[in-house]
Chain A
Amino acid sequence: AQKVTQAQTEISVVEKEDVTLDCVYETRDTTYYLFWYKQPPSGELVFLIRRNSFDEQNEISGRYSWNFQKSTSSFNFTITASQVVDSAVYFCALSEANTGGFKTIFGAGTRLFVKA
């Protein structure tokens, strides 16, 4: 069965600090997809990144970077030089190809507070 664990319930940092959000997943499928979504205080979930199980290259997008390691079943998300606007709940999610990729399981989310 697929499962996503985000062990950090809440994280509080001061602006300009770097912060890493952890995500550990479980799956029996060899082909799967991992995602990160952001839910700001406004409530709408915003897609950040998608990764498939065959692509372990790390990715950087501005202040955001993602570290995918199949050996530890982790897909961690780092924000460099955090800003107040980064305050949100961040969700890691997993979809298995054998479900047609339709069934996405979300982690419980990590609430990030960035203080000025």
Chain B
Amino acid sequence: DAGVIQSPRHEVTEMGQEVTLRCKPISGHNSLFWYRQTMMRGLELLIYFNNNVPIDDSGMPEDRFSAKMPNASFSTLKIQPSEPRDSAVYFCASSRSGGVLREQYFGPGTRLTVT
């Protein structure tokens, strides 16, 4: 089975540009999570969806960040405008939700560099 797919794997952009990160969760998983990992702050949960509906976006750092999940097989995380402090590795993860909590399966991450 294919795991979580993220694209691009690497993104280098200039400050002020719009950045869109993409994620395809594992088929059959109905929960999706976006995380950001930096040396300073570790692994932070930005937002999560259940059945395509955003449940908690309290981790989104600023209004410059937005996320969508138009269907069960696709999600995007957009940063507009990007800033150098947004440089990080962004992970997407998915899991099966339901009565019993499930572990999350992570994608390979997108390494974002904003110059």
Contacts and interface: CB of A to CB of B under 8 A. Distances in A.
Interface residues of B, number: 22
Contact of A43 (B33, B56, B103, B108): B108
B25 interface: no
Interface stretch (B40-48, B60-68, B74-82): B40-48
A47 B56 contact: no
B107 A44 contact: yes
A50 B89 CA distance: 24
A102 B31 contact: yes
Contact of A104 (B55, B89, B104, B108): B104
Interface string A35-71: 1010000111111001010000000000000000000
A50 B100 CA distance: 11
Contacts of A105: 45
A16 interface: no
Contact of B104 (A47, A97, A107): A47
Contacts of A45: 91, 93, 106
Contacts of B2: none
A44 B42 contact: no
Contacts of A108: 42
Contacts of B93: 45
A46 B50 CA distance: 21
B63 to A, nearest CB: 21
List the 8 closest A-B pairs by CB distance, nearest first.
A101-B101, A45-B106, A106-B43, A47-B103, A33-B101, A44-B108, A108-B42, A50-B103
Interface of B: 31, 33, 42-43, 45, 48, 50, 55-56, 89, 91, 93, 97, 101-109
Given A35-B103, A50-B101, A95-B101, 12 more contacts: A33-B101, A43-B109, A44-B108, A46-B106, A47-B103, A50-B102, A52-B101, A97-B101, A100-B55, A101-B101, A102-B50, A104-B45
